[in-house]
Structure 1
Amino acid sequence: MNTYDGATAVVIGGSIGGLTTALLLRDLGFTVDVFERTPTALDGRGSGIVLQPDTLRWFTERSEQHPQDLSTSTDWVQYLDTDNQIVHRERRTWSYTSWGTFYRALLGDFGSDHYHLGEYACGFDQDERSVTVRFVSGREVTADLVVFADGITSIGRRRLDPAADLSYSGYIGWRGTVPEKDLSEGARELLKDSITYTVVPHSHITLYPIPGEGGTGPQDRLMNYVWYRNTPEGPELSEMLIDKRGFPGTVSIHPSQVQDRYVAEMRDAARRMLSPAAAEVVTATATPYIQVVSDVRASRMAEGRAALIGDAACAARPHAAAGTAKAAADAWALVGALREAEGDIGAALRKWEPVQLELSARLLERVVAMGERSQFSNTWKPGDPSLRFGLYGPGR
């Protein structure tokens, strides 16, 4: 019998970090319920994810699904100049997935019986024995443990650290995907088997192939990109972040909702600024969208029987490709602390918190410096090993 057989846990947020946490807690013996605020399944998001060991760990150690069925990979990192010439190339293997592919795989392992849609958590109370979460629907759920995996706008973080506010970086990310098979032969040849960068003054773009809806084969793959562009905080940014429905956004503007004039300007700028191969991908994107690049880090990740993981605790710029890895690392460390605590949830969280806070601090410091180098000081140099991906450090 497991120590936590009969114990209950609530996970707020049904995305990748929340599902990873829920699966691990269930394996530990908890009965777990996941509550997701959106009314429909989180499917169809095309964003790419660089797969690091912590992200993949559930599938390499616990799942019957195989990582190779969920991912693509490349063997090279390369930089192109604005004439499509390769200015740096090194052998370094990375694997990738799409947000939707990975989410569906995790949800497939967790199942839908304890996965609740359309439930927005708005607060909680706790005592020494339990924690009760309140939802805007009027529902209340009491459990032995609550984990907030509710992302960059986390309700849990507002409770544990009300002073932790989003800090805008000074730039946005244009994101999108294009079917690889729809690219010209020259672009496909140049971009194949590589993660590709083009660095220009005060900007850079990253491109890599991810699985499509049909799978990971050449006819299914998508070319995914993130293009970082400086946009000053103030009226210019505020106007850009009003979607076609007239609703203002703070974190992103979804595909098909970015105002047409901004899409047109972005495409024109791509033709002028980027390598032709990168520009082809960007201009061919049917529905590009905007990600607001911001940072936030809570000074606390635990209080009593409540914990924050992933972006709820620390949302850091994407330059280290470590967002999903950090959420997974938080979850694995949490269940490790719970196992060692042998039933004392409060003690487990107290032991777990300082190590994960330190990991968050180191990651945030590094990605802020990387962003400064690419977007402002123009000191991002092709091939610099300090600029490699990694949760625990460059290349790690």
Structure 2
Amino acid sequence: MTDTGRQHWAGHRAMVIGGSIGGLTAALLLRRLGFDVDVYERTPTDLDGRGGGIVLQPDTLRWFVECSEQHPENVSTATHFVQYLGADNEVVYREEAPWRYTSWGTFYRALLADFGTERYHLGEYAAGFDQDSDGVEVRFTSGRIERAELVVFADGITSASRRRIAPEAELEYSGYVGWRGTVPEREVSPATFELLRDSISYSFGPQTHINVYPIPSPSGGLSVGERLLNYVWYRNVPAGHQLDELMTDKRGFIAGVSLHPGQVQDRFVAEMRSAAAELLAPAAAEVVLRTEQPYLQAVYDVGVQQMATGRVALIGDAASAARPHAAAGTAKAAANAWALHDALADSSDVAEALAKWEPGQLELGQRLLRRVKEMGTRSQVTCTWVPGDPDNRFGLYGPGH
């Protein structure tokens, strides 16, 4: 134990499987406790260019607020309002609601800079594990076998280890997809730039909606005029052959969850552009139409009844993945990691700490899942989403929280 009564884990090893934002946050916090930490990421190349925008909640930013020499304002942009746009760009509702945003790449680079690359291993896919009373053995498809006293799986919505820990959990398709993209804000018309630059902006149509907000540029530019306008546009697509056809990339392979920029079939991009002009407020439609390479994510939910077994834990989307409507996915992963840090700081036994950590994190994930499903029903099914309704606000722990 340390002088403050907190457990210190010097001389003990931990592995984090998955090197994205949640995995890096967990790795940094475990190292802060004294663990020797290695991160194993399945992707063989650098992750820097992946992903779009992230709405930053307090849990997501907490590492930079409390532990890093990098400051939150250096990795994020900000707006002061939430607004809803009508058919002619009229503002039908507006309220003061400050939010900060980042791009996936900007935030990833900042976390990786703090963790370093020496113990960050690319191209390592964890195919299986076994554990005993002393530790966990993880087997990789490369032939590598590693052992540690703690293993944290943060390998995303398609986690291979979720089935091992929570075999009852299955991905459930929501009934709609999210079209995503970015465009430099300097490339939109002056009127659209002025309307969108200080707000997160919504546009609604029958069984569809889009939100637009500014994020850092690929080079990290944060000032107004240098940023990107990022959007997610939700459109209903029936499960089955229609979804399969939409999610078939240009090579002829059906994507499981997402199609990256440049992979979406041209005919679907053309249809999407046509629909944008018809369904969305002109400013939102302009952002969509100016996007060179929009990409797609099929929106899925998954929940688990178990997040820990012995010395092994699931965090973030590897445990439960919730639709983006509450803007809480990265915040939940960070909250899982911080709670794990606190549990391990209060215990000298890994399995005991995980057992104490698990119930609260299960409840957090299940509560979030229930709320985003209700939000999706209001916007995409019943068309009962009312601008300004407090229940529509972002938040991990509840609307606005």
Task: Point out the more displaced range, 379-388 or 153-162.
Answer: 153-162
CA shift for structure 1 position 46: 4.5
Matched, 1:28 2:28: no
Partner of 1:247: 253
Q: Matched residues in 1 for 2:175 and 2:248: separation?
A: 17
How big is each residue's C-alpha offset from its partner over 1:308-338, in whole Å with a ceiling of 9 and x where there is no partner? 0000001000000000000000000001000
CA shift for structure 1 position 8: 0.3
The amino acid that maps onto 2:78 is S
Matched, 1:88 2:93: yes
**2:277 is matched with which residue: 271, 275, 278?**
271
Partner of 2:328: 322
Partner of 2:297: 291
* TM-score between both structures, scaled by the size of structure 2: 0.98
**1:227 is matched with which residue: 217, 230, 233?**
233
Partner of 2:306: 300
| SS of alignment partner, residue 350 of structure 1 | helix
Partner of 1:165: 170
Equivalent positions of 1:30-45 (< 5 A) are: 30-45=35-50
Partner of 2:146: 141
Partner of 2:195: 190
Q: Matched residues in 1 for 2:320 and 2:16: separation?
A: 17
The amino acid that maps onto 1:107 is L
CA shift for structure 1 position 220: 2.1
- After the TM superposition, list the runs of 4 or more consecutive aligned residues in structure 1 that deviate by more than 4 angstroms: none
| SS of alignment partner, residue 134 of structure 2 | coil
CA shift for structure 1 position 3: 2.5
Matched, 1:177 2:182: yes
| SS of alignment partner, residue 314 of structure 1 | coil
**2:207 is matched with which residue: 202, 205, 220?**
202
- Given that residues 97 and 210 in structure 1 are in contact (C-alpha distance below 8 angstroms), is that contact kept between their aligned partners in structure 2? yes
- Given that residues 16 and 40 in structure 2 are in contact (C-alpha distance below 8 angstroms), is that contact kept between their aligned partners in structure 1? yes
Structure 1: which 5+ runs fail to align?
A: none
CA shift for structure 1 position 127: 0.5
| SS of alignment partner, residue 65 of structure 1 | coil
| SS of alignment partner, residue 299 of structure 1 | coil
- Given that residues 172 and 293 in structure 1 are in contact (C-alpha distance below 8 angstroms), is that contact kept between their aligned partners in structure 2? yes
- Given that residues 197 and 224 in structure 2 are in contact (C-alpha distance below 8 angstroms), is that contact kept between their aligned partners in structure 1? no
- Given that residues 213 and 220 in structure 1 are in contact (C-alpha distance below 8 angstroms), is that contact kept between their aligned partners in structure 2? no
The amino acid that maps onto 1:25 is L
CA shift for structure 1 position 45: 2.2
Q: Matched residues in 1 for 2:51 and 2:22: separation?
A: 17
* TM-score between both structures, scaled by the size of structure 1: 0.99
**1:123 is matched with which residue: 104, 125, 128?**
128
- Given that residues 5 and 29 in structure 1 are in contact (C-alpha distance below 8 angstroms), is that contact kept between their aligned partners in structure 2? yes
- Given that residues 305 and 349 in structure 1 are in contact (C-alpha distance below 8 angstroms), is that contact kept between their aligned partners in structure 2? yes
